Amino acid sequence: MHELFRRLRYLLSRGRRDRELANDMEFHREMAAREGTRDPGNTLRLREEAREAWGWMWLERFGQDLRYAGRMLRKSPGFTLAAVLMLAIGIGVNVAAFGFFNFVLWRPVPVRDPGSLLRLERRSPDRFWSDMPYAEMAFFRDQSRTLSALLAQKEARLFVEGESKPARANFVTANFMSELGAHPVWGRVLDPGRDNAAGAEPVAVLSYGFWERHFGADPSVVGKTIRLNDKPVTVAGVVSREFSGLRMSEPDVWIALRQQPYFVAGSELLRNFAGDAGDSDRDGVNVWARLRPGFGPKAAEDELRLLARELRAQYPLAIWKNESIATTPGGFASIHGTERGSGTPKNKQAEVYRIVGLVGALTLLILAAACGNLGGLLLARGVTRQREISIRVSVGAGKGRLARQLFTESILLALLGSAAGLALGSALLRALVVFTDSPAWVSAAPDWRVICFAVGLGFLAAVLFGLTPALQGARQRHRGTIMRQFLIGAQVAASCVLLIVAGLLVRALNHALDSNPGFDVQHVISIDPGLDGHGYSPAAARAYLQTFQARLRGLPGVESVALASIAPLGHKTTSTGTEIGGRGIEIQVNHVDPAFFQTMRIPLLRGRNLQPGDTHAVVISQSLARLWPTGDPLGRPLTLDTNYTVVGVAGSARLTALQDPDSVEAYFLSSEPDLPSTTLVVKTAGLPESLVPLAASIAKDVDPKVFPEIQMLKTSFRLKLRDTEHSALAVSLLGATALLLACLGIVGLVAYAVSQRTKEIGIRVALGARSTHVLSIVLRQFFWPVAAGLVGGMAGGAALSQILRRDLYGISFLDPLTYAAAIGIFAVTVALAALAPARRALRVDPMLALRYE
Amino acid sequence: MPKNEMPSGALVLLILRVLRSGPLHGYAIAQRIHSLSSEVLRVEEGVLYPALQRILLKGWVSSEWGISETNRKVRFYRLTPAGRKQLDAELSGYDRVHQAIQSILKTA
């Protein structure tokens, strides 16, 4: 302990200590000379040996090396710039990807004490809901002792007067904003004391963004009355920019949940369980909870299971058998919408990590390509520095010392690259944040995690590209071509993988745009009135839908109108799991009327259409028919909740899972209880644009309280493709970057190979060698590493794109065209790039070459 | 005498021992060891000063400025209480080992 302390003191005062030591030793020599003893040798070296006892020699040497490295890099600015640029690209892309995931996955949302928040979701052995009935939440709120508060939220679209685009509203429990520490910029936020009281006046709190966009950031709007869904409401305040709740997207207005029925006429969201017939289509709220200090999530889950059992004793229809409440950390922005289904839910975490893994692999490939490139450059540079190294060896530099010094240059390069990469990565991230319309609190400024990541990546890169050149340089062995060939191969492989993945995405996108998704996208609109949200009974819903249908049919250009429980390309899906031939499959379920297939232009391939009264008939898609283990599915039973008979086979139409080639569909006849949650689909002869406002005005006539969501399928289609478009663009950019890096690297290496063998080539030319022969001499050494890299790249591409299988719109992840194109593009580009420096070999003048050196 | 013939542990012991009688400068330490060993042991500059640095770091000796017999400013090394303790410990350890080795050499 004391020794360490003394060592540190020596480090700080090492100038003075060194002078003292020098004085001692000088005196020693003076005395020795007086007595006539022999010369004690090199004093500087002796002093250095003595100083080594202080234990700071490595630091001094590192400082020396660093200064020397800095001088060397300044001496060749072209090389330094190229190297730092390459590293900046390699590291920057990774920093951007890491920074984004850092925000989405590891940074809690900026609310008060995010660590004690839990997200609550309903589970039972055979079904799952990500939301829960309001009454269940209220029961937990009143009974729980492990939770100090429950927060609930229901999202809705509310129409703003004079606006065609509806506003996104978050109906939240009155404690939601204060519990999460939201504070107002103007006015107030929701207050459990005032907004939860019976008969409280309806108020809205504006989000900062909506206030800016819609009210021009005018503070006088507070206290004014605005109309949402034609209902007057007072603006109570504007919440600060940082607050966007617990979701990744910021809503436009915040309103107390208690007021939801006021805006959504007839809503039964807040209804209690008394007299409840069942919960199959009951509306629900998303629920979060705050843990009471001293309790953990496990204790909360245990208690909630008991409470659910207690509640089931009172309402056996509403609460499931063996119901449990799954908790997950609630302080992170959730991206996923409301999900309900049977069986066990998809592992969201696994889904997220699948994406993280894929993106990480792609960006690390860029870094690998950059490192391979730089390694090749450094090896080549090592040769040109041969003279310098041999001088240093002859004046007594050890191999270890030399290697350390050469590696220090790489470290310095890597650190410069990290800094440049951090800047580039932050710029990319800023673009990404703007592009993805993220909430205001998502800032692109790097935090300590991102900085550590960038520096760590720099060191990793230094090891990857700098270690072998340093060792080889110090050993003065430059014929070690195996290493160079390996670097070329690795770089080629990494670039190929990127090109293949980019190619697959581009192919998938083109395929999706060109090919028929199995139904008419261009001429159909969907109308989702959301009658269940307004408390419509099945009979009332039937009347509403019939009136609406009749009015629509009367419009010019409308060819047919049909009903479907699931709007095509909408945000709601229903799937059910079953087994066919011992294989578990997930079927996309839709309840439709007989006009549906004609309206959507889905061909009936075999059998017959659904007919009125078909309670146990099902029409399956061709894709599902193909899964049938034996022969013809027609007339065979399909067992789901009950037994159905397959009466027809329709064309495959991926109405909900557009990008998933494995998706299979089944259509049942729409029945009376389904009607409140049914949507309309309308097919026109001409363009659907003119139909949208007409449908909206009809809706106003049929029931002014209901505000349907009207969508053109072609708009939804474009929206669905947007993700693939973005990823295809991003990966193509990465692929192009890798290709560029590979070209630069190969050009450098070929030029170097030519300069190395100028003399030999000169002799051959003098002896009459043909130009093709000369070219083959220069390029032969690159053939095998490039070929090996291409094969490795194909294998890597196949392995990586398997992850993408379900996102490729039916393009095989082994699509031969893509692979051939990627390899072809790569090979041709690199060959052309290599040819330029190789041709220099042909122009070698034999006489000059022989005089060379 | 080649420097690798004297283990550095022994050198530390000798330095501490010659400093027990009072502070000395570096050259005097070498001289004292040389003369006390009847001119058998010669401590070279390249061994003495690294050893002194190590002992300084251990805190067994401290250094102070003084005037040499040639009237020159030079550092004198003085045994600290910690150094005295270390010397006693090393001496008793050395005695035991020495006796053990002696007895083997005599009887074997």
pLDDT, tens digit, 9 for 90 and up, residues A269-326: 888 787 655 555 678 899 999 999 999 999 999 999 999 999 999 888 888 889 999 9
Pairing state of beta strands A643-650 and A575-580? unpaired
Residue type, A653: A
What type of residue sits at position A570?
Answer: G
- What is the mean pLDDT of the segment spanning A503-514? 81
| pLDDT for A835 | 82
Tokens of A305: 């299971």
Q: Do A28 and B75 touch (CB under 8 A)?
A: no
Q: Write the CATH number for B10.
A: 1.10.10.10
Nearest-CA distance from B46 to chain A in Å?
A: 5
Q: Which of B49, B70, B75 sits opposite A46 (nearest CB)?
A: B49
Residue A157 CA to residue A707 CA, distance in Å, equals 9
Identify whether the C-beta of residue B43 lies closer than 8 Å to the C-beta of residue B29: yes
B61 in Cβ contact with B19 (< 8 Å): yes
pLDDT band at A478 (very low <50, low <70, confident <90, very high): low
Q: Does B93 touch chain A (CB under 8 A)?
A: no
- Give the ipTM of the model, two decimals please: 0.79
- What pLDDT is attached to residue B68? 84
Check CB contact of B3 with chain A, cutoff 8 Å: no
Are residues A28 and B27, on separate chains, in Cβ contact within 8 Å?
A: yes
Structure tokens at A156: 């809705």
Q: Which residues of A touch B48 (CB under 8 A)?
A: 28
Cβ-Cβ contacts under 8 Å, B46 against chain A: 40-41, 46, 49-50
Domain ranges of chain A: 2-55, 114-331, 350-513+720-851, 524-712
Please give the single-letter amino acid code of residue A215.
F
pLDDT tens for each residue of A155-181: 888 888 777 778 899 999 999 999 999
Q: How far is B51 from chain A (nearest CA, A)?
A: 8
Mean pLDDT across A740-765: 79
Count of domains for chain B = 1
Angstroms from B2 CA to nearest CA on chain A: 13
* pLDDT tens for each residue of B8-30: 578 888 889 889 888 888 888 98
Structure tokens at B40: 């058998």
Is the pLDDT confidence value at A222 over 90?
A: yes
What are the φ/ψ torsions at residue A592 (nearest 5 degrees)?
-130, 170
Q: What angle do CA A343, A346, A348 make, to 5 degrees?
A: 150
Residue with tokens 């509806």: A166
Q: Which of A408-417, A750-759, B67-76 has the lowest mean pLDDT?
A: A750-759
Read off the tokens for A655.
């109405």
- For A45, counting Cβ atoms within 10 Å of its Cβ (0-12 exposed, 13-18 middle, 19+ buried), the class is exposed
- Dist. CA A325–CA A304, nearest whole Å: 6
Helices (H), A333-398: 348-384, 386-394
Q: Per-residue pLDDT tens for A670-681?
A: 888 888 889 999
Closest residue on chain B to A38 (Cα):
B44
Residue of A6, A8, A31, A43 to mutate, testing the B interface (most B Cβ within 10 Å of its Cβ):
A31
The answer for A 653-692 residues in CB contact with B (under 8 A) is: none
Enclosing domain of residue B32? 3-107
| Predicted structure pTM score | 0.71
Q: What is the pLDDT of residue B5?
A: 53
Which chain B residues contact residue A49 at CB under 8 A?
A: 46, 49-50
How far out from the chain centre does Cα A509 lie?
Answer: 18
Q: Would you state the pLDDT for residue A680?
A: 94
Tell me, yes or no, if B59 comes closer than 8 A to chain A by beta carbon. yes
Residue A524's contacts (CB-CB under 8 Å, 6 or more residues apart) are A568, A599, A600, A681, A682, A683, A684, A688, A712, A713
Q: For residue B53, what is the nearest residue in chain A, using CA coordinates?
A: A53
Among A37, A46, A48, the strongest candidate for a mutation testing the B interface, having the largest count of B CBs within 10 A, is: A46
Question: How is residue A607 written in tokens?
Answer: 């059998």
Q: Per the CB < 8 Å rule, is B25 touching A49?
A: no
Handedness of CA A700, A703, A705, A707 (dihedral sign): negative
User: A606 CB near a chain B CB, below 8 Å?
Assistant: no
Beta-sheet strand order (sheet of B24-25):
B24-25, B73-79, B61-67
Q: What percent of chain A has pLDDT over 70?
A: 94
- Scored b (16 or more CB within 10 A) or e, A779-799 reads bebbeebbebbbebbbebbee
Start-to-end CA span in chain A (Å): 59
CA distance A786 to A833: 14
Which residue in B has a C-alpha nearest to residue A1's C-alpha?
B58
Measured in angstroms, the CA of A65 and the nearest CA of chain B are apart by 24
Structure tokens at A389: 């190294």
Residue A324 confidence (pLDDT): 92
Per-residue pLDDT at A205 exceeds 80: yes
Give the pLDDT band (50/70/90) at residue A336.
low
At B6 the pLDDT is 63
Cα–Cα dist A111/B32, whole Å: 75
Q: Which of B27, B55, B68 to mutate to test the interface with A (most CBs of A within 10 A)?
A: B27
Nearest CA in chain A to B59: A3
Angstroms from A413 CA to nearest CA on chain B: 36
Binary contact (B50, A28; C-beta < 8 A): no
Q: Which of B27, B57, B74 sits opposite A54 (nearest CB)?
A: B57
Predicted pLDDT at A530: 84
Number of C-alpha atoms within 13 angstroms, CB side, residue A485?
Answer: 14
Task: Give me the mean pLDDT over the A117-141 stretch.
Answer: 90
CB–CB contact A25 B73 (8 Å): no
Residue A331, token pair as written in the block: 């302080």
pLDDT of res. B4: 41
CB spacing of B53 vs A31 below 8 angstroms? no
Q: Which residue of B has its CA nearest to A20?
A: B75
pLDDT of A526: 93
Q: What letter represents residue A707's amino acid?
A: F
Tokens 């340093």 belong to residue: A470
Instruction: Choose between A843 and A328: higher pLDDT.
Output: A328
The angle subtended at Cα A734 by Cα A729 and Cα A740, nearest 5°, is: 125
Are the beta carbons of B50 and A53 separated by less than 8 Å? yes
Give CA–CA dist A579/A587, Å, rounded. 10
Residues on chain B touching A3 (C-beta within 8 angstroms): 57-59
CA distance A60 to chain B (A): 17
| Amino acid B107: pLDDT | 82
Residue A514 CB neighbours (<10 A): 7
Q: So what's the pLDDT on residue A511?
A: 79
How, if at all, do strands A679-684 and A524-528 pair?
antiparallel
Question: Exposed (0-12), middle (13-18) or buried (19+): which is A576, by Cβ within 10 Å?
Answer: middle
Residue of B nearest to A4 (CA): B57
Do A841 and A774 meet the contact criterion of CB atoms below 8 Å apart? yes
pLDDT at A512: 76
- A502 pLDDT band (50/70/90 cuts)? confident
- Look at A47 and B52 and tell me if their CB atoms are within 8 Å: no
* Confidence check: pLDDT of B1 > 60: no
Contacts of A82 (CB under 8 A, 6+ apart): A377, A744
pLDDT at A527: 93
Residues A28-42: tens digit of each pLDDT: 888 878 777 666 667
